[in-house]
Amino acid sequence: MSKTIRCAVKTNDFQLLIYTIGCFYTIDNHEITSFRKEEEFVPDKRILILNNEVNKEWIQIEFEVLHPHELDELIRRITFESNNVAFFMFRQTVDETLRFVFFSQGVTVRSYYQEYLRHHQQLRVMENFGAFLSFENELEEKLFFQIVTEEKDSKYDNLKVFFNQVGFLWDGLEEADFHYLSLSGYK
């Protein structure tokens, strides 16, 4: 089952990202717009969307991921080629599944995955790799999902601290570029 995931890469170089993606996938079509299209993801067609609508120094990648680690490999390669950092967080509020990964220069610095095991009726950490990041300073007391979803909890602000530290802040862009890449397969 595919999931649409957003990833943020610290670069403003669309062409470098497109080149790196083209080394991984066959790109059949590349369309550039200044607006978000209504029908972005179409069945039986893989579309990857690049945009800078949050911050001009960061490009977001939106992608329907077929395999849990497909995005990991793509982003690992992009951060290696761009000599930069990237992260993504996927959170499914229905079943409390969460995945957070932070990359730097082609290396996975932090990877965290948790899911709700119905037969145990319990939220469990399934993967916890890498050094703790600054916003996780009290992680041993709570599961990551609770930290990022309990808005009344002051620990929620720690994720915002991480965004501030890496410079991923809304900078009030009035115009953004959207690059729609139609993919037909792996190379």
Where do the structural domains in the chain lie, given as residue ranges?
Answer: 3-186
Q: How confident is the model over 152-166, as a mean pLDDT?
A: 61
Residue 143 in contact with residue 123, Cβ under 8 Å? yes
Walk across the sheet containing 122-130 and list its strands: 25-33, 178-186, 46-51, 59-65, 3-9, 85-92, 97-104, 107-117, 122-130
If pLDDT is split at 50, 70 and 90, which confidence band does 184 have?
confident
Query: Please, which residues bridge with residue 178 across strands?
Result: 33, 51
pLDDT tens readout for residues 54-73: 888 899 998 877 776 788 88
pLDDT at residue number 47:
85
pLDDT at residue number 14:
95
Q: Label residue 179 exposed, middle or buried (CB < 10 Å: 0-12, 13-18, 19+).
A: buried
For residue 135, what are the contacts with CB-CB under 8 A and spacing of at least 6?
A: 147, 158, 159, 161, 162
More confident residue, 137 or 83: 83
pLDDT tens readout for residues 120-135: 877 787 888 888 777 6
d(CA 155, CA 122) in angstroms, rounded, equals 21
Q: How confident is the model over 110-126, as a mean pLDDT?
A: 82
